[in-house]
């Protein structure tokens, strides 16, 4: 009689092999599949009467590790113990299986990042670009998003959108419909993905006195229903940028791999198998929105949000006062210009720095207007020699410090 857990494990292993085959797009992928199939046919140790195979045994051990929250150190010790208990010449791994990742060495001055594949012991890996030093000064971990999207669409579950005139999801909003009108070829296939990107710095050591700052980038998919799109298992973390210092304006250097994938998904698309409709299609995606706190907004968009031009709506018309003794910029007037044209408070200047307000509301700057403002800016990222920054204007920090990096894969122009 077959145990239910054994049957589930067999099904999961079969699905993993099937998914790996579907992901094969070049010679390197086929070599890795061949190695995996070879492990699938290899006995765990010579003359194994129970028929235990190397791949399945490793797979079940990893499942046990994940379900019980065992650390890598504890798992390594378990593997060493099991290897001693089973006959010599066994094929059980000696250390924790390391999933394929892309490791990016970065200059400590944030001026560039060089990518290369991690070194593995198996012969299926392609040669890599050697790093300059054995220990990098700074590292960013990048986890590609396209393979995960392919796995997502292999799930044949389907959920219809609720249409009850309630605003419960970005799909019910104006921006979603505006994209549909502006890009009808993109909106034609409802499977095309709209991403929401969020990023922020954090202290991973939980020490309030420490100034260490590590940045993480997350992506959520707004094609999912509202009760799923922000669930932990559907949120991707494509990039993790090592600290300890703030990235500031140079964050674009580390976002380059993600932007390259988003550009590919936006301009060309990738072939994906849809398990629900049982067909292959070209999946496309765009960056629907970015979600950040106030400091991260300045880093990501390159827009000044402090000093004399702190208001992202008023821009150059920001009402500011410099307190010379405190050496701080404060914002004490101009707020009543946001009221209606005939609002009585507009005339009560004594409540607003002693001045009546006759100006209209600040003019909203569309994406096209912003693109015109920043298209001629020349910036060379980095903190060392050779870096080029936007100069100050009349002793004030510039309104824009760089081009909009996500503009080419975002609906930012509109």
- Give 189-200 pLDDT, tens digit per residue: 888 999 998 888
Long-range contacts of 13-17 (CB under 8 A, 24+ apart): 13/40, 13/55, 13/56, 13/59, 16/59
Which of 28-42, 61-75, 108-122 ranks highest by mean pLDDT? 61-75
Split at pLDDT 50, 70, 90, the class of 123 is: very low
Q: Say if CB 148 and CB 238 are below 8 A apart.
A: no
Task: Locate the domains of the chain by residue range.
Answer: 4-85, 102-157+167-300, 314-363
Nearest partner of 221 among 209, 230, 233, 210, judged by Cα: 230
The pLDDT of residue 152: 82
Give CA–CA dist 283/182, Å, rounded: 18
Split at pLDDT 50, 70, 90, the class of 130 is: very low
Which residues, in sequence order, are CB contacts of 309 under 8 Å at separation 6+? 315, 316, 318, 320, 396, 397, 399
The rounded percent of the chain whose pLDDT value lies above 90 is 2
| DSSP structural state of residue 91 | -
**What's the mean pLDDT when you consider all of the chain?**
73
Which of 120-124, 148-152, 287-291 ranks highest by mean pLDDT? 287-291
User: Which tens digits make up the pLDDT trace of 321-374?
Assistant: 788 888 888 877 777 777 877 888 877 777 777 677 777 777 777 777 777 777
Q: Mean pLDDT lowest for which of 141-145, 174-178, 335-339?
A: 335-339
Classify residue 69 as exposed, middle or buried by CB count within 10 Å of its CB (0-12, 13-18, 19+): exposed
What average pLDDT does range 141-162 have in this prediction?
A: 75
Give CA–CA dist 255/287, Å, rounded: 13
382 pLDDT more than 80: no
The pLDDT of residue 66: 78
| DSSP structural state of residue 362 | P
Nearest partner of 255 among 265, 247, 266, 246, judged by Cα: 247
412 pLDDT more than 50: no
Classify residue 187 as exposed, middle or buried by CB count within 10 Å of its CB (0-12, 13-18, 19+): middle
Distance of CA 392 to the CA centre of its chain: 32
34 pLDDT more than 70: yes
The pLDDT of residue 142: 80
User: Please, what is the angle between helix 72-85 and helix 54-68, to 10°?
Assistant: 140
Give CA–CA dist 387/123, Å, rounded: 41
More confident residue, 175 or 135: 175
229 pLDDT more than 60: yes
26 pLDDT more than 50: yes
The pLDDT of residue 119: 37
The pLDDT of residue 219: 92
185 pLDDT more than 60: yes
284 pLDDT more than 70: yes
- Reduce the DSSP state of residue 113 to 3 states and report it: strand
The pLDDT of residue 106: 58
128 pLDDT more than 50: no
Give CA–CA dist 309/329, Å, rounded: 10
Which residues, in sequence order, are CB contacts of 141 under 8 Å at separation 6+? 101, 102, 103, 104, 239, 240, 242
Give CA–CA dist 368/31, Å, rounded: 47
């Amino acid at each position: 009689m077959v145990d239910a857990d054994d049957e589930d494990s067999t099904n999961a292993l079969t699905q993993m092999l099937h998914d790996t085959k579907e992901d094969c797009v070049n010679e390197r992928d086929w070599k890795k599949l061949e190695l995996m199939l070879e492990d699938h046919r290899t006995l765990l140790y010579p003359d194994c009467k129970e028929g235990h195979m190397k791949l399945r045994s490793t797979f079940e051990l990893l499942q046990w590790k994940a379900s019980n929250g065992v650390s890598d150190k504890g798992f390594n010790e378990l593997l060493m113990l099991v290897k001693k208990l089973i006959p010599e010449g066994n094929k059980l791994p000696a250390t924790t299986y390391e999933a394929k990742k892309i490791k990016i060495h970065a200059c400590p001055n944030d001026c560039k990042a060089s990518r290369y594949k991690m070194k593995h012991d198996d012969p299926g890996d392609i040669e890599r670009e050697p790093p300059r030093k054995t220990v990098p000064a700074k590292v960013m971990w990048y986890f590609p998003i396209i393979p995960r999207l392919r796995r997502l669409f292999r799930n044949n579950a389907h959920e219809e959108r609720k249409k009850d005139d309630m605003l419960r999801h970005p799909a019910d909003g104006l921006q979603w419909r505006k994209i549909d009108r502006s890009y009808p070829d993109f909106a034609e296939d409802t499977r095309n993905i709209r991403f929401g990107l969020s990023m922020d710095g954090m202290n991973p050591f939980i020490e309030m006195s420490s100034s260490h700052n590590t940045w993480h980038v997350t992506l959520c998919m707004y094609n999912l229903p509202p009760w799923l799109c922000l669930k932990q298992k559907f949120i991707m973390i494509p990039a993790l940028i090592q600290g300890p210092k703030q990235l500031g304006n140079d964050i674009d250097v580390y976002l380059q791999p993600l932007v390259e994938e988003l550009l590919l998904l936006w301009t060309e698309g990738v072939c994906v198998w849809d398990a629900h409709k049982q067909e292959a299609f070209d999946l496309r995606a765009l960056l629907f929105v970015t979600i950040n706190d106030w400091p991260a907004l300045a880093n990501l968009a390159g827009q000044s949000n402090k000093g004399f031009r702190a208001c992202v709506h008023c821009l150059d018309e920001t009402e500011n006062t410099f307190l010379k003794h405190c050496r701080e910029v404060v914002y004490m007037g101009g707020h009543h210009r946001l009221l209606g044209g005939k609002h009585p408070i507009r005339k009560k200047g004594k409540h607003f720095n002693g001045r009546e307000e006759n100006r209209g509301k600040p003019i909203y700057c569309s994406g096209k207007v912003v693109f015109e403002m920043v298209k001629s800016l020349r910036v060379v990222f980095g903190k060392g020699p050779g870096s080029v920054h936007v100069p100050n204007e009349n002793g004030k920090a510039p309104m824009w410090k760089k081009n909009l990096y996500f503009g080419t894969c975002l609906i930012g122009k509109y």
